[in-house]
Chains A and B, each alone.
Chain A
Amino acid sequence: MSLNRTALYQKHRDLNAKMTDFNGWEMPLYYTSILEEHQNVREHLGVFDTSHMGQFVVEGNDAQSFLNRLMVSDVTQVPVGRACYTLMLNERGGIIDDLIIYRLGETVFMVVVNCGTRAGDLEWMQQHVQGDVSVKDISQGRSLLAVQGPNADRVLEQLLDTKVSGLGRFEVAPIRTMGSMSCIARTGYTGGDGFELFVPDKDAMKLWDMILNTADISGAAPTGLGARDTLRLEAGLRLYGSDMDQDTTPYEAGLGWTVAIQKEAEFIGKSVLVKQKEQGVKRKLVGLQLDRGPVPRHGCALLKDDRTIGTITSGTFSPALKRPVGMGYVETEYATPGTVLSVEVRNQKHAVEVVKLPFWKLNTAKLETKTL
Chain B
Amino acid sequence: MKIPEDLLYTKSHEWAKRDGQKIQVGITQHAQEELRDVVFVELPEIGKTVKAGEPVAVVESVKAAFDIYAPVSGTVSAVNEGLTTTPQLINDDCYTTGWMYTLEFSDEAELGNLLSPAAYAEQLKSGAA
Contacts and interface: CB of A to CB of B under 8 A. Distances in A.
Q: Is B a genuine binding partner of A? A: yes
A231 to B, nearest CB: 11
Interface residues of B toward A: which range? Answer: 10 to 19
Interface stretch (A90-98, A258-266, A292-300): A292-300
A226 interface: yes
A267 interface: no
A340 interface: no
A316 interface: yes
Contact of B63 (A34, A294, A346): A34
Interface string A273-299: 000000000000000000001110100
A29 interface: yes
A230 B58 CA distance: 21
B42 A294 contact: yes
A33 B58 CA distance: 20
A293 B36 contact: no
Contact of A346 (B36, B37, B39, B58): B58
Contacts of B60: 294-295, 317
B36 A295 contact: no
A35 B37 contact: yes
Contacts of A317: 37, 39-40, 60, 62
Interface of A: 18, 29-30, 33-35, 226, 230, 293-295, 297, 316-317, 324, 346
B39 A295 contact: yes
Contacts of B40: 293-295, 317, 324
Nearest to B62: A34
B115 interface: no
Main secondary structure of the interface of B (DSSP, over half): strand
Given A18-B36, A317-B40, 8 more contacts: A29-B63, A226-B63, A230-B62, A294-B40, A297-B65, A317-B60, A324-B39, A324-B40
Contacts of A30: 36
A128 to B, nearest CB: 37
Contacts of A226: 62-63
A230 B40 CA distance: 16
Contacts of B39: 35, 295, 317, 324
Contact of B36 (A34, A230, A297, A324): A34
A199 to B, nearest CB: 29
Contact of B65 (A29, A35, A294): A294
12 contacts: A33-B37, A34-B62, A34-B63, A35-B37, A230-B62, A297-B64, A316-B62, A317-B40, A317-B60, A324-B39, A324-B40, A346-B58
A293 B39 CA distance: 9
Contacts of A230: 62
Contact of A35 (B42, B58, B62, B64): B62
A244 to B, nearest CB: 21
A29 B37 CA distance: 12
A89 B61 CA distance: 35
Q: Which 3 residue pairs of A and B lie closest in terms of their CB atoms, listed nearest first?
A: A317-B39, A35-B37, A34-B62
B124 to A, nearest CB: 17
Interface in B37-60: 37, 39-40, 42, 58, 60
A295 B59 CA distance: 11
Contacts of B42: 294, 346
Contacts of A29: 63
A166 B41 CA distance: 47
A226 B58 CA distance: 20
Contacts of A324: 39-40
